[in-house]
Amino acid sequence: MTSERSEQRPFEDQPPAQSRRPVWLGLLTFLLIIMAWEVLARFSGWSAQIFPDPFTVVISMGQLVRDGTLLRHTVASLFRVTAGFYLAVLLGVPLGILLGRMWMARSFLNPVIQFLRPISPLAWIPLAMLWFGIGDPPAIFLIFLSSFFPMVVSTTVAVQSINPTYFQVAANFKFTRWEMLSMLIIPAIVPEVVTALRLTITIAWLVVVAAEMIAVQSGLGYLILDARNALRMDYVMDGMIVIGLIGIVLDWLVRRLGNIESASWGMKSR
């Protein structure tokens, strides 16, 4: 009992359990931001055309919802993110497992991956437009690039960090390659992969908005650019608000994956 108390940090602020965390604290933060926004809009000296107040933004949001503009652009952005992100996961995770288990493949491909990984996906925009033209393909390609390399690197590191004892035990039991993959490797790397998914979905959502300002004529990024050209700053803020809300929802959905029992297998066994 004494040793347990000595390991505790007496002045560390421990958050409550997930089910008991007060939601109103986060809502209070947003309320304070809206109040500060209202004050700045009233007393900053800027016109409503340049810096609209919250009420004006809410009214314009209702207009975009009623005429279907907001729904159309939101669906277009989500489609591109879904296609590019899923493609990156389907290709990146198997490649990461391969690189984590085979030193020859890692030695052959890792230099190329490390060379391409730091290049910003936005730097590929001119080439993507030349290769795929204008429309969904260049945006999906850019989202794929933004998600693919983080997934490969994270999966490779996760596979390499598996305790070698597990592989020795699996060899003693004469596991086949499929059994090794399905019963050992995949359950062990789930926690790291879920974390990588959470990071890469955020990056993908950022990239699609930037790509839609250049390479396509639909989506939330295009809505913001078109509203800026028309000097409708209220529409610009509406697009920004929807982007933030969808980002929160996407992050919540990925975090839900971490609550499944298999997502904690690797953590508990280390």
Domain ranges within the chain, ordered by starting residue: 52-268
Q: Answer for the pair 223, 232: CB distance below 8 angstroms, yes or no.
A: no
**Token couple for 82:** 């879904």
Q: What is the pLDDT of residue 270?
A: 47
Q: What is the pLDDT of residue 151?
A: 92
- Distance separating alpha carbons of residues 147 and 199, to the nearest angstrom: 9
- Distance separating alpha carbons of residues 142 and 131, to the nearest angstrom: 12
Q: What is the pLDDT of residue 5?
A: 46
Q: Is 67 in a helix, a strand, or coil?
A: coil
Residue 36 burial (C-beta neighbours within 10 Å; 0-12, 13-18, 19+): exposed
Q: What is the pLDDT of residue 7?
A: 47
Q: What is the pLDDT of residue 149?
A: 92
Assess if CATH 3.40.50.720 describes domain 52-268.
Answer: no
Q: What is the pLDDT of residue 1?
A: 44
Q: How far is CA 215 from CA 73, 74, 176, in A?
A: 14, 16, 47
Tell me if the pTM is above 0.85.
Answer: no
The stretches in the chain having pLDDT less than 70 are 1-24, 26, 45, 47-48, 258-270
Q: What is the pLDDT of residue 11?
A: 45
Place of tokens 């992969």: 193
